[in-house]
Amino acid sequence: MWMDHRAEEQAARITNTGHGVLSRVGGVMSPEMQPPKLLWLKENLKESCWKEAAHFFDLPDFLSWKATGSLTRSLCTLVCKWTYCPPEGWDASFWTSIGLEDLLENDFSKIGSVSCPPGSPLGDGLTQEAAADLGLDPGTAVGASLIDAHAGGLGVIGADVKGFHLPCEDQPITSRMAMICGTSTCHMAISEQPLFVPGVWGPCLSAMVPGVWLNEGGQSATGRLIDHVMKGHAAYTQLQEQARQRSNIYSYLNSHLSSMADSRSAVDLLGSSLHVWPDFHGNRSPLADPTLKGMVTGLSLSQTLDDLALLYLATIQALALGTLHILEAMKEAGHDIRTLFLCGGLSKNSLFVQIHANATGLPVVLPDQMEAVLIGAAVLGACASQDYSSIQEAMEKMAKVGKVVQPDNELQSFYERKYKVFLRLFAHQREYQALMNQR
């Protein structure tokens, strides 16, 4: 549901209200958040859905309700995606200003009258029905949920890094950024004090790690974009045939690029004349513009497997430069990020990981358990069952370093130049829009 942008027009109207709650979402309401989605439902499915619905849930809270019967919502979902702001709670003036004043009824019961921190035990644990479905014991503790990306952040960001010679060693946890890389990518940065980053969601208190503030950057399409670029290329069928004989398509392309590169040169340099602006599904941050489009410059008439490999490379480089763009916005607002902690499906792609290290100039830490989202979920369960006294204790014990990938500093100049091209692509898109909007 988050990737559904049909509520763009509703999101723009909400942004135009200029309401104070928008300061907690980077100043711009995203169509990926819940208020515009709710408004779309009211305006387009009023009789069949809006009037009939007893409750509206974020998916993590829906799963908690199915497991326990408890209507208590997680602070993570409410604060990050619904504009809830503790300790005050819901802002009635906001919902009234956007035309959803009916949600105020019965103390906001349809969207959540009661909330609690992630990892808090819910209800009496698993219901009889849920326990039977899952093959577990009734009453098994269930912790208040996290959004999947936030669970991934919890599953990596607290790992003990002693002995790995990382710049975040002996530094506060706020020097780390968790990146959860899959269909999209979420960039999770935390701070002791609230930091307001234009175009970046947050600050949200205790939305991932208790007691600290969360800013969440992101890219709306990353793994989805890589797949889109490959599947739309004339050489994709040939790629599938070649990869079937050896490995998966990503490993094959990574090896193919290595064979294309001069033995004395890095694969990265193959992308010197092919450039991509990666916002094929809009920009989540730091530009916060869902109307932006993708761009590619440097194409020829050739459509060989080599050309597909180069476009794959340039797309990954563009995504890494998009991460650099987010990092710079966060740094300007006061974040001091020294190490990246990656998890999710794309973190299994060695080229994706190495290029993110090279483009940002930061070391990348990979977890020893690749399904870090499940580790984060286990942290919540361990807290709900009181096996650990706090989320901080649980995540420090359960998150482990698996591998460290260092940046290739010899590529610094290359990526500085490529980043300048990257930013000019955006500037040119704005310029083209302005020209075509002239009357």
CATH label, 146-439, candidates 1.10.3720.10, 3.30.420.40, 2.60.120.1440, 3.30.70.20? 3.30.420.40
Max CA separation in the chain (angstroms): 69
What is the per-residue pLDDT for 262? 82
End-to-end CA distance of the chain: 37
- How many other CB atoms sit within 10 Å of the CB of residue 363? 20
Give the domain ranges of the chain.
Answer: 8-134, 146-439
Of 90, 124, 74, nearest to 391 by C-alpha is 74
User: What average pLDDT does range 358-380 have in this prediction?
Assistant: 96
Identify any residues that bridge with 216 across adjacent strands, giving them in sequence order.
188, 201
Alpha-carbon gap, residue 283 to 322, rounded angstroms: 10
Q: What are phi and psi of 168, to 5 degrees?
A: -90, -5
Q: Which two tokens stand for residue 130?
A: 């849920």
Of 183, 345, 272, nearest to 353 by C-alpha is 345
Virtual CA dihedral for 132, 137, 143, 144, nearest 10 degrees?
30
24-66 pLDDT, tens digit each: 999 999 999 999 999 999 999 999 999 999 999 999 999 999 9
What is the per-residue pLDDT for 372? 96
113-167 pLDDT, tens digit each: 999 999 999 999 999 999 999 999 999 999 999 999 999 999 999 999 999 999 9
Is-same-fold flag (8-134; 146-439)?
yes
Bond preceding residue 194 cis, omega within 30 of 0: no
User: What average pLDDT does range 432-436 have in this prediction?
Assistant: 96
What is the per-residue pLDDT for 221? 98
What is the per-residue pLDDT for 163? 94
By the 8 A CB rule, do 117 and 75 touch? Answer: yes
Number of residues written out for the chain: 439
User: What average pLDDT does range 94-118 have in this prediction?
Assistant: 97
User: What average pLDDT does range 222-246 have in this prediction?
Assistant: 95
Residue position matching structure tokens 């007893």: 54
CATH label, 8-134, candidates 3.30.420.40, 3.30.450.40, 3.40.50.970, 3.30.2020.30? 3.30.420.40
Check residue 377 and give left, alpha or beta (phi > 0: left; psi -120 to 50: alpha): alpha
What is the per-residue pLDDT for 365? 98
292-318 pLDDT, tens digit each: 999 999 999 999 999 999 999 999 999
What is the per-residue pLDDT for 185? 98
What is the per-residue pLDDT for 246? 78
Alpha-carbon gap, residue 332 to 200, rounded angstroms: 12
By the 8 A CB rule, do 296 and 335 touch? Answer: no
pLDDT category of residue 245 using cuts at 50, 70 and 90: confident
What is the per-residue pLDDT for 428? 98
